[in-house]
């Protein structure tokens, strides 16, 4: 089982993954926790570029799209090995983050489709998660939960990302959870998504 938590920064992915990992381990599951970008040299390069004030600009986004796809391809080996040994894999972000983030701003629909097709193409060999949980959070709340000083915490930008996530959720059967709620309520909602898949009660 490959589970991915998605959502804008501050939506509670790290918090909820820690709780989910503990819950699954209490049931006796062996869990592998992964995250994107990874700690590979490519992942480190991605983190450096993300700190650049120009990171949201179009050519930076294209570069990031390629680097994320490369970083993710290497991660597939880790996922395959974990699944082969019966582990549950929980990922902080996945391929869908690229579709939500590395998409150009302010271009007409035709170009956007052209670009989106390219994003799918460069991620063609990436394994899609079995379950995607989208933690949906109001942008203002996300900003107040974060420290407020990176280029991805711009309100208008985050609104676009949030809406793209919601579009993706519809067309890809994500489980959408209201992340405005308290930590325990969100955790319960996540357990309600996972428990039928593993034949357990919440
Ligand atoms: N449901 C919640 N209600 C209030 N604060 C939360 C909630 N979930 C997480 N937080 C806090 O918000 C901040 C961002 O959460 P985090 O789990 O790091 O989000 P992400 O990994 O998606 O960026 C942290 O300080 C965390 O303690
Ligand atoms: Mg996090």
Residue 97 in this model has a pLDDT that exceeds 90: yes
| pLDDT for residue 103 | 76
For residues 112 and 106, give the distance between their C-alpha atoms in angstroms, rounded to a whole number: 9
Helix boundaries (H) for 27-154 = 41-50, 58-84, 95-101, 109-122, 139-145
pLDDT in tens, 150-200: 556 688 889 999 999 999 999 999 999 999 999 999 999 999 999 999 887
pTM of the predicted model as reported, rounded to 2 decimal places: 0.94
Overall number of domains in the chain: 1
For residues 28 and 200, give the distance between their C-alpha atoms in angstroms, rounded to a whole number: 12
Nearest to 6, CA basis, from 122, 175, 150, 159: 175
Mean pLDDT (the chain, rounded): 92
| CATH code for the domain in which residue 160 is found | 3.40.50.300
Task: List, in order, residues 6 or more apart from 168 with CB less than 8 Å away.
Answer: 96, 99, 100, 134, 174
For residues 73 and 149, give the distance between their C-alpha atoms in angstroms, rounded to a whole number: 30
Share of the chain above pLDDT 70, in %: 94
- Output Rg (C-alpha) for the chain, integer angstroms: 17
Residue 94 Cα, ligand 2 centroid: separation in angstroms?
Answer: 13
pLDDT in tens, 127-155: 999 999 999 999 999 999 987 555 566 88
Residue 172 Cα, ligand 1 centroid: separation in angstroms?
Answer: 25
Number of Cβ within a 10 Å radius of residue 112: 14
Task: List, in order, residues 6 or more apart from 133 with CB less than 8 Å away.
Answer: 3, 4, 5, 6, 174, 175, 177, 190, 193
Residue 14 Cα, ligand 2 centroid: separation in angstroms?
Answer: 4
Instruction: Give yes or no for residue 97 CB within 6 A of ligand 1.
Output: no
- Residue range of the domain that includes 174: 2-198
Ligand nearest to C-alpha 15 = 1
């Amino acid at each position: 089982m490959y589970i991915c938590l998605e959502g804008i920064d501050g939506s509670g992915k790290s918090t909820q993954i820690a709780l989910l990992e503990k819950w699954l381990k209490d049931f006796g599951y062996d869990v592998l926790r992964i995250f994107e970008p990874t700690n590979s040299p490519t992942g480190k390069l991605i983190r450096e570029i993300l700190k650049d004030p120009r990171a949201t600009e179009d050519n930076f986004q294209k570069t990031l799209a390629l680097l994320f796809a490369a970083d993710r391809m290497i991660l597939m080996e880790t996922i395959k090995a974990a699944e082969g040994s019966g582990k549950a894999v929980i990922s902080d972000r996945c391929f869908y983050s690229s579709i939500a983030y590395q998409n150009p701003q302010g271009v007409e629909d035709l170009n956007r489709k052209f670009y989106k097709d390219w994003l799918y193409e460069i991620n063609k060999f990436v394994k899609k998660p079995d379950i995607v949980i989208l933690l949906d959070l109001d942008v203002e709340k996300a900003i107040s939960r974060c420290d407020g000083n990176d280029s991805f915490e711009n309100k208008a930008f985050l609104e676009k990302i949030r809406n793209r996530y919601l579009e993706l959720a519809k067309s890809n059967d994500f489980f959408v959870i209201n992340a405005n709620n308290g930590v325990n309520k969100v955790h319960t909602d996540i357990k309600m998504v996972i428990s039928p898949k593993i034949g357990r009660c919440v």
